[in-house]
Chains A and B, each alone.
Chain A
């Protein structure tokens, strides 16, 4: 197990290194930030001074090495726009996005898995067909449009929930969290539902397909022949088997939810990381973009690592092959 973890950890580091090169070179290629940042009336000497101050006069490889060196010391550079460390700015926004993503994740798993199992057990029933039809809407309608529709119905027509922004927050261990207050929760519901809908549809379809498959397996029939209640057959025998692919998808999707909640955050004016990224791209704030992408990579790689460890908890066959490996 330890050998496996060490090897898996090495792979993660490699992925992060490869991503660092791609991100840095990619961002370098998208234009000169000085043109945007500097006062249009500045003279040549001032421009050159700024370029030198930002380190943009050095060749690409030198800039990259400097970036890596600083990154290893936990410094991903200062934002051109805010003049403060980029990581600091992102981390300020991180709790808002994390909170949104986790609530969305809980919603999509908590609703998606039961609905998927139901649709898988009774694929031809009215309920099963409705769930499938609903899930098609869930992942084929554009996310931003769903968000706007949610605002239209629940905020404008019904007036039940606020249309955007983040509610009252509470300080928990230095993080500003809003789901602990009623006002915060009211603000959180719509964006979380919006972010959850797509993932929920995905989970429903995945769970349904796996449930249908598992339901035909001999071990399920054998479990019934043993006289077990259908409840136990479904909740223990089927569910534990289908959780393996579902956990994979949840892991992948949690990463992408944290990283790319951009659309939802924009529609609902949610002050998270996604909105920060959009603003930074508009201003060509290179260190911030790079820091954001690096942090995203880090989060996704970490989640994948956790998922791999979770596998071995869920599937005893994986544990055995690890021992051999």
Chain B
């Protein structure tokens, strides 16, 4: 059953220098309990996609068109009041930097209890009990003592666990995680990943994991969406995309990951730089950097489905077999 259906979402930033099309026609959907990885480099619009779903795009940004259908309701049309009721309750978000997401001058219990009370009319004691329970769930020992602490008394990993606990307080249907492990060291990263995966599976919570790190998300997500310059250029099941990337950009991304390569082998790199969102190239946005580009790419390619269940926005997708890809 479809939980979230994003159709042709466009979020633009109206700056003094012009209109930055941060998200420009993004379409994807998500089933209950499914984990979707959105991969892309900085400025590809992946975070803005996440914030758009929650209606938290800061001015001068604005969702200009499209639909975000969450459990049957179009959040773009429904307006602020409806979204506010869902935020933190049915859709929760985890941010990138755990050092910054918790308010430094408020105790953990305050920050957790207020989240409970924002959506449910329960007593403070009940809210506190729920907070304690959730902290235990995310693997924080001595929750009573921890509740009375301030964020600065926690390590980065612990803070991210607290942030995850806050996201889980209302057992949401969907969690949007915006690079939540980027600021953590590798061992903690692995712990948090496993923890989130376990908790989501337990409560059948859908997860959108936004990241620039293909290695992290490939072990976690059921499906992947690769974003480039405000658009999804390729989507499909994780194994398929990693095994046989169709879009030249995805291929470049996978080629630049050190994992699984022989020691000492050269990493491939994608030439050039991501385009400015204020001044996008004509036709396919990856064209200036693409080794396969020709005149046909001057026409904006639509999202096509050359293989069943795979979407790709490219005129010349890599339709060679997996072996050929690995050999090349």
Contacts and interface: CB of A to CB of B under 8 A. Distances in A.
A226 B226 CA distance: 27
Contacts, number: 79
A50 interface: no
A228 B152 contact: no
B105 interface: yes
Contact of B106 (A216, A221, A236, A244): A236
A224 B56 contact: yes
28 contacts: A216-B58, A217-B100, A219-B100, A219-B102, A221-B56, A222-B101, A222-B102, A222-B163, A224-B87, A225-B54, A225-B56, A225-B93, A225-B95, A226-B87, A226-B114, A227-B88, A227-B89, A227-B118, A228-B88, A228-B114, A228-B115, A228-B118, A240-B105, A240-B106, A241-B103, A314-B105, A315-B104, A320-B153
Task: Give the interface SS of chain B, mostly helix, strand, loop or mixed.
Answer: mixed
Contacts of B100: 217-219
B16 to A, nearest CB: 12
Nearest to B51: A221
A219 B104 CA distance: 8
B97 A218 contact: yes
A244 B105 CA distance: 10
A317 interface: yes
A316 B105 contact: yes
A44 interface: no
Given A218-B101, A219-B103, A241-B104, A226 B88 contact: yes
A229 interface: yes
A223 interface: yes
Interface of A: 216-219, 221-229, 232, 236-237, 240-241, 244, 314-317, 320
Given A316-B150, A320-B152, A320-B153, A226 B118 contact: yes
A323 to B, nearest CB: 11
Nearest to B116: A226
A246 B83 CA distance: 34
A227 B152 contact: no
A236 B115 CA distance: 13
Given A218-B100, A221-B56, A222-B102, A229 B93 contact: no
Interface of B: 54, 56, 58, 84-89, 92-93, 95-97, 100-107, 114-115, 118-119, 150, 152-153, 163, 166
A222 B119 contact: no
A217 B93 CA distance: 15
Given A227-B85, A228-B118, A221 B150 contact: no
A237 B106 contact: yes
Given A227-B86, A244-B105, A316-B107, 19 more contacts: A216-B58, A217-B100, A218-B96, A218-B97, A218-B100, A219-B101, A222-B93, A222-B102, A226-B88, A227-B84, A227-B87, A227-B115, A227-B119, A229-B84, A229-B118, A232-B114, A315-B105, A316-B104, A316-B150
A225 B92 CA distance: 7
Contacts of A314: 105
Nearest to A216: B58
B271 to A, nearest CB: 34
A241 B87 contact: no
Nearest to A225: B93
A219 B93 CA distance: 12
B228 to A, nearest CB: 25
Contacts of A316: 104-105, 107, 150, 152
Contacts of B97: 218
B103 A223 contact: yes
A321 to B, nearest CB: 10
A317 B152 CA distance: 7
B184 to A, nearest CB: 15
A226 B100 CA distance: 15
Ordered nearest first, which 6 A-B pairs have the shortest CB separation? A227-B88, A218-B100, A227-B87, A226-B88, A316-B150, A225-B93
A241 B93 CA distance: 22
A241 B95 contact: no
A295 to B, nearest CB: 35
Contacts of B150: 316-317, 320
Nearest to B97: A218
B105 A221 contact: no
A210 B103 CA distance: 15
Nearest to A219: B103
Contacts of B54: 225
B240 to A, nearest CB: 32
Interface centre among A226, A314, A320 (most CB of B within 10 A): A226
B62 to A, nearest CB: 14
Nearest to A215: B58
A240 to B, nearest CB: 5
Nearest to A238: B103
Contacts of A228: 88, 114-115, 118
A221 B107 CA distance: 17
B155 to A, nearest CB: 14
A226 to B, nearest CB: 4
A232 B96 CA distance: 23
A241 B104 CA distance: 8
A241 B100 CA distance: 13
Given A218-B100, A221-B95, A226 B105 contact: no
B301 to A, nearest CB: 35
